[in-house]
Structure 1
Amino acid sequence: MKGLIFCEFLEMVEEKFGYETVDEIIEKSNLPSKGIYTSVGTYSHEEMFSLVGQLSVNLKVPVSKLFYTYGVYVFGVFGKAYKDLIIEHSDAFQFLSRVEDTIHVQVLKLYPEAELPTIEIKSQGPHKLELIYTSQRKMADFAEGLIQGCLNYFNEDASINKVGLTEDQTQVLFTIQKNV
């Protein structure tokens, strides 16, 4: 997992809960990296699970909710930093339906070794989008947050339904329904 994801996570934690919380979760997580990340470095996704797990213990908030919250947050950050990749899309559905063939292509140009999830469009209409998220990292809650962040970015009101297609949650169906 790219260090940029770790850096932004720690930035969010500091912004919302203070530097002391960042320091404490790093210290208690017993990380191989010691919590020292560079945006271009690559780190085990297990470190992210350790950090989020420790934050969950500290705040008494479920891990799933923290991953979701981080997904919403990081889409906002990326929306500002990579605006050129987003503004060419007219709405959230168009953007989400093009993640695999535009955004992921660009990410792989920058980071050829990146291990990205796959996003397959199952069906698409003007008010409903179904996509299948597949990842060995099992970060569907983070993906759901990214979807919500995308909806927020485009100022769209929609509901998101998440259904596991595999028992281990490596494959999840998201149904996004615009509230019209």
Structure 2
Amino acid sequence: MKGIVFTEFMEMVESKFGLETADTIIELSDLPSQGIYTSVGTYDFNEMLSLITNLSKEIKLPVDELIYTFGLYLFTSLGKAHPEVIQSYNSPLGLLYSIEDHIHVHVKKLYPDAELPTFKILEKTDSSISLIYSSSRGLYRLAHGLMQKAFEHFNGSATIAYELLKEDGTEVKFDIVQNG
């Protein structure tokens, strides 16, 4: 997993839960990297699982909720780091429709060895989109948070429903309907 995900996660933990909590989860997690991350590095996905699990225990919030919260946070961080990507769009549905063909192409240029989820568009209208999220990591709640924040970024809102097509969350159908 790319280091930028780790550095942003740790920044979120520090800003929302404090430096002491960040230090505690690093200590509890027994990490090969010792919790020292660079945005361009690559780290074992199990380190992220360990950090999230220990954060969940420490602050008594469900792992799924923390992953969703991180998705909300990550959209803003990535938008600041790479504003040119989001500026290419004038609507959240346009942005979501272009994940595979534009956004992930851009990410691959920056991080050639990044393992990205895939998003297969099933149907798109002027006010809705249905797609299938696929990833061996099953971080569909992260994708959910990113999608939610995309609508907020464009001063809109949406109803986002999801259905697990595989119980482990590695394949999930999202139905997104833009409000008003």
| Same fold by TM-score greater than 0.5 | yes
What is the deviation of 1:85? 0.9
Inter-partner Cα distance in structure 1 for 2:170 and 2:76:
25
1:1-180 to 2 correspondences below 5 Å = 1-180=1-180
- Cα distance in 2, alignment partners of residues 127 and 101 from structure 1: 20
Shift of 1:167: 2.3
Contact 2:159 2:179 in 1 (8 A): yes
TM-score by length of 1: 0.97
Offset of residue 168 of structure 1:
2.2
| Residue type at the aligned position of 1:97 | Y
CA distance in 1, matches of 2:156, 2:120: 21
Q: Which runs of 5+ in 1 are unaligned?
A: none
Question: What percentage of aligned pairs have identical amino acids?
Answer: 49
Q: Confirm or deny: 8 A CA contact 1:52 1:66 kept in the other structure.
A: yes
Task: Give the 3-state SS of the residue equivalent to 1:174 in structure 2.
Answer: strand
- Ranges of 4+ aligned residues in structure 1 off by more than 6 Å: none
Name the SS for the 1:27 alignment partner: helix
Instruction: Measure, in 2, the Cα distance between the counterparts of 1:31 and 1:97.
Output: 37
Contact kept? 1:79, 1:153, Cα under 8 Å: no
**Separation (CA, whole Å) in 2 of partners of 1:47 and 1:175:** 31
Note the alpha carbon deviations across 1:3-32, whole angstroms, 9 max, x for none. 010000100110111110000000001111
- C-alpha distance in structure 2 between counterparts of 1:111 and 1:20, whole Å: 31
String of CA shifts for 1:25-45, please: whole Å, max 9, x gaps: 000011111111111000111
C-alpha distance in structure 1 between counterparts of 2:10 and 2:27, whole Å: 13
